[in-house]
Amino acid sequence: MRRFLRRNFGRDKLYYRIIDDLFGFLPNNIELYKLALIHRSASLSMGPDHRPLNNERLEFLGDAVIEAIVTDFLYIEFPEENEGTLTRLRSRILSRKSHNALALSIGLDNYVIVDLDKATMAIQKDMYGDALEAMFGAIYLDKGFDFTNRLLINRVFVEHLDIEGMLFAETDFKSRLIEWCQKYRYKIEYKTRKSGRAGFKTTVFIDSMEMGYGQGVTKKEAEQRASWSMTHAPFSDEKAASMLDRVDMLDVLPVASVDGAESKRMRDGDPDAAPRKPLPEAGVGGGSYLATDPSGAGVAPCETEAGTLNMEEVA
């Protein structure tokens, strides 16, 4: 009877329906949930000092509550995993990308109050994840930690999150690329610049050679996409290292060597003896080695002024 009355009568019946439809319960203090839906771009003024009224404080609280619940859940659910694995998995679950996806999956994006004229592209990208955190801040204040814990794990995570898949998914491509460079002792450098009205473009250099690129709304996203373009090359780490070693040899071997028999025929003046194609001269090469399209189209041959280094020949 209470659910029927709350959902169908009173000035806040719309908000009761929203929370009940999204999470399956009726709030005690509906004002908390109304506040959780107000993005800072649509802030209301409150009091003589015109203090902004929005969901930022609830977002701060909800972020901490979700982190505590996820940490406890992972510790219990994965008793065989070490600290490093649990930390990486927690980071993936708590990432802005994950929270945005969860908010969209449960349908929270349909109810967030936002002023699109004031919200930049970067803000719009994250506002649904922010609202999700604010909503769980409100649930914590209204229902307590135990209720919030059960709701997040049993309803949101179970129905909308593939935790097992995230355990084996690779998302931090920048760290992976840096580790790879350290393993093979290559110098890596990221150069990022503004691109367009709201975005960044990053180029990755390995041993001073342009190797990959990426674009994103934020600097971090651009660097991750540039790293992604490298880590999705269709050959092994060993082949990539071998290719770079061959490029390094351009500084000391401007011309390819020939075998002994062919060399003797050349010295004897045999007209049928032809030297192998010269390698590119040291220091040349304006192209992008290992250039992978962020769309996943593949890795292009290494273009230089002296020719093309065919990736199929890399041992």
Q: Are 256 and 278 in contact (CB under 8 A)?
A: yes
Cα(32)–Cα(34) distance, integer angstroms? 6
Residue 108 exposure: Cα atoms within 13 Å on the Cβ side: 29
**Residues 21, 31, 56, 63: which is the catalytic one?**
63
**Residues 59, 130, 133, 221: which is the catalytic one?**
133
Residue 77 catalytic?
no
DSSP the chain: -HHHHHHHSSTTHHHHHHHHHHHSS--S-HHHHHHHTB-GGGPEEETTTTEEESSHHHHHHHHHHHHHHHHHHHHHH-TTS-HHHHHHHHHHHTSHHHHHHHHHHHTGGGT-B--TTT--HHHHHHHHHHHHHHHHHHHHHHH-HHHHHHHIIIIIIHHH--HHHHHH----HHHHHHHHHHHHT--EEEEEEE-SSS-EEEEEEETTEEEEEEEESSHHHHHHHHHHHHHT-SS-HHHHHHHHHHHHGGGT-SS----HHHHHHHHTT-TT--PPPPPPPTT---S-TT-B-TTS--B--EEETTEEE-GGG--
**Phi and psi based region of residue 213 (left: phi greater than 0; alpha: psi -120 to 50; beta: remaining):** beta
Residue 63 catalytic?
yes
Q: Are 235 and 311 in contact (CB under 8 A)?
A: yes
Catalytic residues, by residue number, are 63, 133
